[in-house]
Amino acid sequence: MGRLALDLSGTPCLLDFDGFHRPLGVFAGNIALSLSPWTYRRHMEALRATTHAAGTDLRLDTRGLAAAVLAGADLPDDLARRLEPVALWWAAGGDDALPSLPEEGEWLDLGAAGRARLRPWSERQRFSALSAALSGDGDDTWFDPVTYLDGMVRASLHVLDGPQALDEVDARGTAVLLHATVALNLAGDQEDPLLDGGPAAREWAARTLRLCQALGWTPTRVWATPAAEIDRLLRMLDVLQPPPRPARAPRLSDHPDATVIHIEDDPPRAAP
């Protein structure tokens, strides 16, 4: 908080910073301007206009995003270019480390925007967000990742305890909320071996799905259960539902069109 002095490629710059929920004063050269708080709604609108597909990846047009932050300031092109790092810093909610995902039931600290409780979105909510994010048909289908992300945030935001609605949350609160929501809803590293395939992964998947079907659990609950308890549960299931015996490998004689000839040794003859 307070005044921050910067040197932007030879242009002295002074920032009057009092939190992301208040306007940012910028003094560069002989020009003074004020950047209003960068809100969740403005951030999503700007991302929708500056995020583009590049093959299977997404690319952010950082220059376009900076221009959106500085829009209305009527700056000379050269000065606007020099102020791009400030604009991106303002839109990103600063460069401080983002907090880790809180434990279930704990509050997520959004700074001046208050606090939030998150919950994983359901498969129905994910499908609704995906449907809203898709347009067109066939080869002309277009996926809007920002609409999908916004749908994820709104579905996962269980409680927002703060002075403003989601659309007015400031840049720092927005960054924290986006980071935590994505971390909450994406598959974690613990699932990577299951997704890689191979004999061990197939066995693990079979055990997991067997317990899910028998107990009505989710995979997350199965994997969080102590290993010894899982062994006990599987043994009890084996008592009630013995696993099938491995099938015998088919023989040539099992073929329906096969003719089987039994050849037996002659019985021994008595000596004359």
- Alpha carbon 121 to chain centroid, angstroms: 11
Q: Inform me whether the pLDDT recorded for 119 exceeds 90.
A: yes
Check pLDDT > 70 for residue 268: no
| 246 vs 235, residue with greater confidence | 235
Q: How would residue 3 be classed by pLDDT, with cut points 50, 70 and 90?
A: confident
H or E segment to which residue 59 belongs: strand 57-60
Evaluate if residue 254 carries a pLDDT over 70.
Answer: no
Q: For residue 165, what are its two tokens?
A: 């609605």
Q: For all residues of the chain together, what is the average pLDDT?
A: 87
Q: How far apart are CA 154 and CA 125, in angstroms?
A: 10
Q: What is the reported pTM? A: 0.77
Spans of all domains in the chain: 2-91, 108-185, 190-240
Q: How far apart are CA 77 and CA 123, in angstroms?
A: 47
Residue linked to tokens 């307070």: 2
What's the rounded Cα separation, in Å, for the pair 69 and 51?
A: 15
